[in-house]
Amino acid sequence: MRRLITLAAAASVAVLAAAAALAATGTPFGGGTTQNGILTLVSNTGDAGSTNDASGATFTGTGVTTFSSIGTLSAEFNVTDDDCSGGSPRFQVQLQTPSGAKNVFVYLGPAPSFTGCSPNVWIASGNLVGSGDGRYDTSQVQAGTQVSTYAQALALVGGFQVTGISLVVDSGWAFADKEQTVMVRNVKVNDSTFFAPETNPGPGEGGGKSPAQACRQLRGELGADAFRMAYGTNHNGRNAFGKCVSKMARLKNDEAREAAVVRIDRAADRCTERATTGRGHGHGHGHAKSHDKSKRGHGKNMRACLRHAV
Ligand SMILES: [Ca+2]
Ligand SMILES: [Ca+2]
């Protein structure tokens, strides 16, 4: 009987382990947020709240057991503000050691200082397992070993059980504005990938709009007349489309243009509403009677309103 129970217990542990291996998850913490699958990590030590002083994500269900069982550790990161510094961004591997839980830090960015990360570009770390750079900091386990290669780290902590793997951004303090932001995607821990961007949508497929696409959609939403009123500057507003495109081209990216289309469409709806209810004319009476008389006035107000909307 005892044997049976043991077998059953072993079986359920195996099931749990299999379930955990399937359900690999990356969970943001602190000020970490995701959008379209991409993780944004902020360290802001200059504002009132402390939640965003450090941000990161923890990775579970990777199947990692001991430190030596980590075969892949990589990420793509984009330091949007301001730089890599003070050991951030980094991977953090928590280990069960004979003297308690200790962290090994694996620094991202260029060795040996791990500063000087080009801002606003995606940087692929490559697989950090096997790295000959001194980017492994094992000094929590053994003093003086903060500049170790992978081989040195492996020799020191390879046999220890891993109890947590995370990616951390926490050096806001190192910058004049007390704020550091790093975007992260395609984090790989062994066979698991975290924060993969949602299927790169082509232009106009939900991932944003090119200037021409944005203007075509707006022309459809507003109607040709209102569109010409909103953007046109020459006879009959014939140059409206060109004016719209050059205006849209000044926006930051396709996502910003998509948002602008929504915003302008809403604003234009309000213009139409105002024109048809006569609001803004200073007299709400005799609407039906005054309708024809003020039609021209409505047109003028409508134009002003639309031009303001775009
Ligand atoms: Ca803060
Ligand atoms: Ca900053």
Q: How far is the CA of 118 from the centre of ligand 1 (A)?
A: 24
Residue 201 pLDDT more than 60? no
Q: Say how many Å lie between the CA of residue 177 and the centre of ligand 2.
A: 5
How far, in Å, is the centroid of ligand 1 from the Cα of 182? Answer: 15
- Closest C-alpha among 307, 110, 101, 107 to residue 222: 307
CB crowding 36-69: b at 16 or more within 10 Å, else e: eebbbbbbbbeeeeeebbbbbbbbbbbbbeebee
CA distances from residue 225 to 219, 267, 271 in whole angstroms, order as listed: 9, 16, 13
pLDDT digits (tens, 9 = 90+) for 95-111: 999 999 999 999 999 99
Mean pLDDT of 244-260: 93
Tell me what the mean pLDDT of segment 175-196 comes to: 97
CA 35 – ligand 1 centroid, Å: 21
Cα dihedral sign, 291-297-299-302: negative
What is the CA(61)–ligand 2 centre distance, in A? Answer: 33
Contact 194, 35 (CB under 8 A): no
Confidence bin at 272 (pLDDT 50/70/90): confident
Per-residue model confidence (pLDDT) at position 294: 45
Distance 134 CA to ligand 2 centre (A): 27
- Give the number of the ligand closest to the Cα of residue 182: 2
> Does the pLDDT at position 216 exceed 60?
yes
This model's pTM is above 0.75: no
Rounded distance from Cα 181 to ligand 2 centre (Å): 7
Q: Does residue 222 have a pLDDT over 70?
A: yes
Phi first, then psi, for residue 179 (nearest 5°) are: -145, 130
Ligand sitting nearest the alpha carbon of 46: 1
Q: How far is the CA of 32 from the centre of ligand 1 (A)?
A: 12
Amino acid at 106: V
Round the average pLDDT of the chain to a whole number and report it. 87
Per-residue pLDDT band at 271 (split at 50, 70, 90): confident
Q: What is the mean pLDDT of residues 208-222?
A: 91
> For the CA atoms of 148, 152, 155, 161, what is the dihedral angle to 10 degrees?
30
Tell me: pLDDT of 168 over 70.
yes
Å from CA of 45 to ligand 1 middle: 4
Nearest ligand for residue 54 CA: 1
